[in-house]
Amino acid sequence: MEVSKIIVLARKHLAANPANELSARICLADAVALSDKGDFESSKVRALKSLAYSVGILSPVYARASGTDKSSSLSALFNGRVPKRVYTGRAKCCRCGCKGTYHEKGSVGYSRAMTKLVRGVAGGLAGDDLGNCIDFEFGNDRAICVYFD
């Protein structure tokens, strides 16, 4: 997406996340100043940063603006870590497997869980990052937990 359109989106969504609004405004101001100077490359980086503050990197709005698909947005959330398996089942309980199932990468259960996770996160679900895993609670006492070890 062109810089000018990303700037429009960034401005439109400024108030989407009040906690990040100031950061989003600063990035947007940088983006506009850089664009005025003709530095569209740097402007795009700052405009996307502003949008990331406002709507989050997993939002479809961000994905469209940045030209990345959802799975690459998810890998940004994983911050360089590579998932090995995913737990689906009861939240906040024993993780020996008696209250849920571990799905190894490449299995059908794994890809189903990831699809559900991408949807949840795009809808605003936040995970609890514990270093070796990120735990996402879906309500109804259900969790999807992505393990990196």
Please state, in angstroms and rounded to a whole number, the distance separating the CA atoms of residues 106 and 110: 6
By the rule CB under 5 A, 93 interacts with Zn ion: no
Please state, in angstroms and rounded to a whole number, the distance separating the CA atoms of residues 146 and 68: 21
Cβ neighbours of residue 149 closer than 8 Å, sequence gap 6 or more: 84, 132, 133
If binding means CB under 5 A, how many residues of this protein chain bind Zn ion? 3
Give least dist CB 99 to Zn ion, A.
Answer: 6
By the rule CB under 5 A, 98 interacts with Zn ion: yes
The β-bridge relationship of strands 133-139 and 100-104 is unpaired
CA angle 92/94/99 to nearest 5° reads 90
Give least dist CB 29 to Zn ion, A.
Answer: 52
By the rule CB under 5 A, 94 interacts with Zn ion: yes
By the rule CB under 5 A, 108 interacts with Zn ion: no
Stretch that binds Zn ion, among 34-42, 54-62, 96-104, 107-115 (CB under 5 A): 96-104
| Minimum CB distance to Zn ion smaller for 96 or for 108 | 96
- CA atoms within 13 A of residue 14's CA, in its CB half-sphere: 11
| Minimum CB distance to Zn ion smaller for 98 or for 108 | 98
Give least dist CB 94 to Zn ion, A.
Answer: 3
Task: Locate 117 and state its tokens.
Answer: 């996770």
**Binding-site member from 19, 79, 82, 96 for Zn ion (CB under 5 A):** 96
Please state, in angstroms and rounded to a whole number, the distance separating the CA atoms of residues 94 and 13: 40
Give least dist CB 98 to Zn ion, A.
Answer: 3
Instruction: Give residues in contact with Zn ion (CB under 5 A).
Output: 94, 96, 98
